[in-house]
Structure 1
Amino acid sequence: MKKTIALFILLSGFNFTQAQKLTRDQINDSIREISYFSNHLDNYFIVGGPTNRNINSQTSNAKYQVSFKQILTKEPLPFDTYVLLTYTQKAFWNIFEDSFPFRDLNFHPSISLGKFVFDKNEQLRGVASISLEHESNGRDSIYSRSWNRLSAAYRTQLSPQTNISLKIWLPFASKEGNPDLLDYVGLGEINLEHKLISNKLSLALRARKGLDFEYGSLRTRIYFNPFKRNIANQFLMVEWYLGQAESLLDYRRSQSMIRIGFVIKGNEFNWF
């Protein structure tokens, strides 16, 4: 996993020379003009099967995600911060089985305090946030999974084509139902996105390392825009998930799943 991340950074050229950045005034004007309600993370519907097991109706499935956010304040609060609510719901749907049962639903609401970070020339350098997050699968008894965390994230550019996001979290009240979850999800993650062809083809990686170094995950996504125009930020997506904790219910299970489908990309890097 470490070698993969290092190779990705090397291929990006590790060029810190950036294109023209937005200024503080432009950011504030943009915040006032954008909608209060918008998409947050990727919204997608993808279907596929495993590479490490036999492919059949029990091992293949569909995965979809709905994610949005609501800005609560358009005028900056003290320290030039903004408050927003986010909600993400991820589902694992066994569409190849009789009656099409849902295997697991993961609910992920949060409240965040965000801040744009500027350099001495008042140009955008990055976006920082502190969030209070809850994630659970809404089930009871032995199938109950949930955890809470206080997280901090920072998003910026490595180059005009490459964005990076670093996130760390401090879990609390997350032992019941999944006492060893941190062994699989760790205490943070790194996201990298590299534009191979602007607004046409890009590659994204997300890496997590569990507290038990035998476990972790690497999620690779390829976005391709087959449309002549892409006003709605729509892409075809191929995702390869390798590792554990893809879903809360089966967080101990080792997965190697390849899926393909349709995505409306999230906008967390749209400021760069």
Structure 2
Amino acid sequence: MKKVSATVYGLLLILNLPLQAKETDYLDCIETHLVQLANDAMIAKLKERCKHLVTQEANQPGALSRRFDKERNSAFNPYVITPHRMNYILPFTYTDSINTDAYQDLNNYADNLEKSESKFQMSLKVPFNEDPIFSKGDGLYFGFTLASWWQVYSNNISKPFRETNYRPELFYITPINWRPLSVSTGAIIGIEHQSNGRTQILSRSWNRVYAGFLVEKQNFAFAFVPWIRIPENKKADPLDDKGDDNPDIQKYMGHFEVLMAHKWDRYEVNLMTRYNFTSNNGGVELGFTFPLWGKIRGYAQYFAGYGESLIDYNHKHQRLGIGIALTNIL
């Protein structure tokens, strides 16, 4: 008689069935299906486990949310400064068209401007709330960004800072409980002032209110941020201290920004673009960071269009720079 496995033999004892030689084919069939049932159960369990892991991974917060979570852990430490926008230093940049028109009334200044200059940006934010205000993970912040263009390669005009922009803002940001296609969403609303701190013919400034929609998934983040400019009174004379320094600024700066960032491994690429569909003017900035050593990262930046700085809001040019980034976006 054909040998029967312990599994089948145990089943026969439970069912109180006799073991006869003529039934060996039948028993082989039972054994085969018992093994198959065990495999099916294991496969079902494995499928359930994988489904859980995939769902769990899809619901993981994106890179931008992970950044905010890490910042909250140290945001109220008095010895820690929390970054806002990117912080970088570009020792060398080159533009195909330096803006000399804005400085024509300054003797011997415009003609001595060099197309090569340095650029840097420092940006930080300060949180107001440690506990949620309206929803879990939301935050009210004061932000401040300083960007400067330094004529360090000009020998005839004492290497001045050609332009410095100051950008204080107050903003509220919150996640949204809406996850289409397994992406995370959020919203931001704020008010900001931007100025170059100059007077009379070199003065440039504007105020705006903005509201944006954020989307992130894993290591990709996207933001659409439209704004409304707060109107100012017209100047009776160009040399007046009060009034609108640049009434046509939205013609060149547009009514919105689109921001994107993606990182893989230790590299990150980011994109900013703005546009005015009526005037067909706008600008685009592309950045790329790569590892160097420690927290220091290499950074390459390319800009094309209008409005890289306030003094250049109506001056079209291209600029390429190389340097280091102290912080990333994601």
* TM-based fold match above 0.5: yes
The residue that corresponds to 2:207 in the other structure is 148
Match of 1:135 among 188, 194, 197: 194
Return the letter of the residue paired with 1:186: G
Return the letter of the residue paired with 1:71: P
CA distance in structure 1 between the partners assigned to 2:160 and 2:313 by the alignment: 19
Q: Which region of structure 1 is more displaced relative to structure 2, 243-252 or 71-80?
A: 71-80
* Equivalent pair of 2:71/2:82 in contact (CA under 8 Å): no
Q: CA deviation at 1:244?
A: 0.7
* Equivalent pair of 1:39/1:266 in contact (CA under 8 Å): no
TM-score computed with the length of structure 2 as normaliser: 0.66
The residue that corresponds to 1:167 in the other structure is 225
Return the letter of the residue paired with 2:93: G
* Equivalent pair of 1:166/1:189 in contact (CA under 8 Å): yes
Return the letter of the residue paired with 1:48: T
Deviation string, structure 1 residues 65-107 (Cα, Å, up to 9, x no partner):
0100001101011345421100000101101113210111100
The residue that corresponds to 1:184 in the other structure is 252
The residue that corresponds to 1:198 in the other structure is 265
- Which structure shows the bigger proportion of residues in helix conformation? 2
Q: CA deviation at 1:21?
A: 1.4
Q: What SS class does the counterpart of residue 292 from structure 2 fall into? A: coil
CA distance in structure 1 between the partners assigned to 2:67 and 2:271 by the alignment: 27
1:62 aligns with 2:118: yes
The residue that corresponds to 1:4 in the other structure is none
1:34 aligns with 2:74: yes
Q: CA deviation at 1:133?
A: 0.4
The residue that corresponds to 2:101 in the other structure is none
CA distance in structure 2 between the partners assigned to 1:58 and 1:212 by the alignment: 33
1:249-260 pair list within 5 angstroms: 249-260=311-322
Question: Whose RCO is larger (CA < 8 A, sep 6+)?
Answer: 1
* Equivalent pair of 2:60/2:218 in contact (CA under 8 Å): no
CA distance in structure 2 between the partners assigned to 1:27 and 1:184 by the alignment: 32
Q: CA deviation at 1:172?
A: 0.5
The residue that corresponds to 2:35 in the other structure is none
For the pair shown, which has the larger CA radius of gyration, 1 or 2? Answer: 2
Q: CA deviation at 1:110?
A: 0.5
The residue that corresponds to 1:217 in the other structure is 283
* Equivalent pair of 2:178/2:185 in contact (CA under 8 Å): no
Q: What SS class does the counterpart of residue 225 from structure 1 fall into? A: strand
Stretches of structure 1 lacking an aligned partner (at least 5 in a row): 1-16
CA distance in structure 2 between the partners assigned to 1:50 and 1:27 by the alignment: 33
Return the letter of the residue paired with 1:114: I
1:111 aligns with 2:177: no
Q: What SS class does the counterpart of residue 226 from structure 1 fall into? A: strand
- Which structure shows the bigger proportion of residues in strand conformation? 1
Q: What SS class does the counterpart of residue 201 from structure 2 fall into? A: helix
1:48 aligns with 2:93: yes
Q: CA deviation at 1:150?
A: 0.7
* Equivalent pair of 2:210/2:226 in contact (CA under 8 Å): yes
Match of 1:97 among 154, 162, 169: 154
CA distance in structure 1 between the partners assigned to 2:72 and 2:315 by the alignment: 45
Q: CA deviation at 1:127?
A: 3.0
CA distance in structure 1 between the partners assigned to 2:203 and 2:304 by the alignment: 24
